[in-house]
Amino acid sequence: MAVMTTIAAGTALMGMYASWQAAEAAKKSGYATGEEYDRLARETLLTAKFNIDRDKGKIFEVSAGIAEKGTDKTAFIKRQGAFVKGKTEATVGASGVKSGSGTAAQQVIQTGLNTASNIMQNFREIQMAQSNLKSAGEDKMESEWMQAKQQSNKYKRMADMAREGGDVAQFAGMMGGFTKGVGTFNSLGGFKGSESWFSGKKETS
């Protein structure tokens, strides 16, 4: 009977060891999955930051382009204003009206006012275009960052759940292995042999 008990104990222990290895593997798998989700959480934020920095650069370039076009348009308006002013002065001179007279002076002044008004209108258009560009860009970048943070937090929660799942799987596996080991030990007559050994009884043929 002692031999039976030894066999039962050995078989049970081997089964429990196998269950322990499986439980450890389940934990490692859960933790490895958690690490992967942690990596995704970090990369999600890094990718969003990269995209936002890139968008800032694009906005700066477009804004600079708007300013450059506006400057070119302002120069054109000035040239056009100077041309109109010169033409007005020539027309007034050809008509025989003195350039210093009220009507002639008003025409020349009005030409200058029109030019100044056009320059100011162009300046306002530049500011509006740059403001709209900045506002739309900031809204887009803020939305992208918020979505990235939400996704990153989701990955972090999934990482925690994966690690918790690994711990639970390990505990369940070890408990299951213990229970199975006890069952194996009992089914092979381990407990019966132990009782005989402790009571000092010998097996009779």
Reported pTM = 0.62
DSSP 33-59: HHHHHHHHHHHHHHHHHHHHHHHHHHH
- Residues 12-50 have pLDDT tens digits of 556 556 657 676 777 778 888 889 999 999 999 999 999
Whole-angstrom distance, CA of residue 44 vs CA of residue 168? 28
For the chain, the maximum distance between any two Cα atoms, rounded to a whole number of angstroms, is 151
Phi, psi (5° rounding) for residue 32?
A: -65, -40
- Percent helix, strand, coil in the chain, to 5, is 90, 0, 10
- Residue 198: pLDDT band (50, 70, 90) is very low
pLDDT top residue among 202 and 179: 179
Share of the chain above pLDDT 90, in %: 43
pLDDT of residue 89: 74
**Mean pLDDT lowest for which of 19-23, 74-78, 134-138, 193-197?**
193-197
Whole-angstrom distance, CA of residue 24 vs CA of residue 172? 11
- Residues 107-158 have pLDDT tens digits of 778 888 999 999 999 999 999 999 999 999 999 999 999 999 999 999 999 9
Phi, psi (5° rounding) for residue 11?
A: -65, -45
Going by C-alpha positions, the residue among 72, 49, 74, 73 that lies closest to residue 141 is 49
